[in-house]
């Protein structure tokens, strides 16, 4: 495994980071908790020291599973990245900016973006309890909240750093203007944004800004939630309540199939999977610090970590670049 410094911090994170969205179950057709814990253990055994989660993932379940999986582990050797700012129940339900309706047990649950100072303090304490730890390595705004001034949110995170509750502050899904506004108050460690072979929009402005300001880029959905594995073109199916039934519809299926057809012989020649090739390609792109990869079981976790052993030649990078011109 390779480790990279995150922006302006002293955090050295594993280039492949365990993404804990799917193990929360909601929006992903459920989960098997023992498999999820085994996946985290297998990741750590393979050198994946960094775990990215959030309160919203499974309405707290993802954080709880991460906390449970880390019992008995050396906390100083694992970096926990979590988030705040999505609310759905309790005293803050309905506050902030309406986001969307999530689903749990067939019931629609309205989710709001809410990043007020009071809510940040509340959420951090809840996360610390679920994660069974007394500090968070990187705390991130999950989504921009138009109802709360950005400086209020950043001031609250600066206060949490001073208190030792968090080691570094980051954001997710911030555009260029939001980053510039935030950095008037605090030097951000990172911006977590979607990035994949099919979605390279951040290359235009976000990546250059990050490079100029010593800010890390955390890439999520590098496999487009499994689409770039190719398995959903070969008979794999999704549960009815899996959000990917709709998510995959944004892509041109024939173009994606053609891309996978280009990637398959390259991967086969290296005796690796297409997903490993895609993950490794993502880690090699300019400005990308770490890449999130989810795993529901130990086998997937080992495969994800193994992506770092893949070597891609300049000629192969050019072949891939040519194929990506279709997007």
What are the contacts of 123-130 at 24+ separation with CB within 8 A?
A: 123/55, 123/84, 123/85, 124/84, 124/160, 124/165, 124/166, 126/55, 126/60, 127/55, 127/63, 127/82, 127/84, 128/165, 130/55, 130/60, 130/63, 130/64, 130/67
- Distance of alpha carbon 106 from its chain centroid, rounded? 26
Residue 57 known to be catalytic: yes
The Cα 73–Cα 180 span in angstroms is 38
Helix (H/G/I), strand (E/B), else coil: 301: helix
- Name the catalytic one among 3, 18, 57, 232: 57
- What distance lies between CA 322 and its chain's CA centroid? 27
Q: Nearest to residue 270, comparing CAs of 224, 307, 233?
A: 307
* Residues forming the active site: 57
């Amino acid at each position: 495994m390779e480790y990279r410094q995150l922006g302006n911090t002293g955090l050295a994170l594993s280039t492949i980071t365990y993404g804990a969205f799917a193990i929360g179950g909601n929006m992903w057709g459920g989960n098997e908790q023992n498999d999820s814990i085994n996946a985290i253990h297998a990741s750590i055994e393979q050198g994946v020291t960094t775990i990215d989660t959030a309160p919203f993932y499974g309405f707290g379940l993802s954080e709880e599973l991460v906390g449970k999986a880390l019992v008995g582990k050396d906390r100083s050797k694992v970096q926990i990245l979590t988030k705040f700012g999505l609310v759905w129940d309790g005293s803050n339900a309905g506050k902030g900016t309406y986001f969307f309706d999530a689903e749990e047990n067939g019931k629609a649950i309205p989710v709001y973006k809410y990043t007020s100072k009071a809510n940040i303090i509340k959420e951090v304490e809840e996360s610390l309890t679920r994660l069974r730890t007394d500090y968070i390595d990187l705390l991130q705004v999950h989504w921009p909240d138009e109802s709360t001034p950005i400086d209020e949110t950043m001031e609250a995170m600066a206060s949490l750093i001073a208190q030792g509750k968090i080691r570094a502050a980051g954001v997710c899904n911030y555009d260029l203007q939001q980053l510039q506004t935030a950095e008037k108050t605090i030097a951000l460690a990172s911006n977590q944004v979607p990035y994949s072979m099919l979605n390279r929009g951040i290359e235009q402005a976000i990546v250059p800004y990050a490079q100029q300001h010593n800010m890390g880029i955390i890439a999520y959905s590098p496999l487009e939630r499994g689409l770039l594995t190719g398995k959903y073109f070969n008979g794999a199916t999704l549960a009815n309540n899996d959000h990917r039934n709709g998510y995959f519809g944004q892509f041109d299926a024939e173009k994606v199939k053609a891309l996978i057809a280009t990637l398959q012989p390259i991967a086969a020649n290296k005796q690796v999977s297409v997903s490993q090739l895609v993950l490794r390609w993502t880690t090699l792109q300019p400005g990308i610090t770490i890449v999130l990869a989810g795993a529901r079981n130990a086998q997937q976790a080992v495969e994800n970590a193994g992506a770092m052993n893949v070597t891609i030649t300049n000629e192969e990078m050019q072949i891939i670049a040519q194929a990506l011109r279709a997007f």
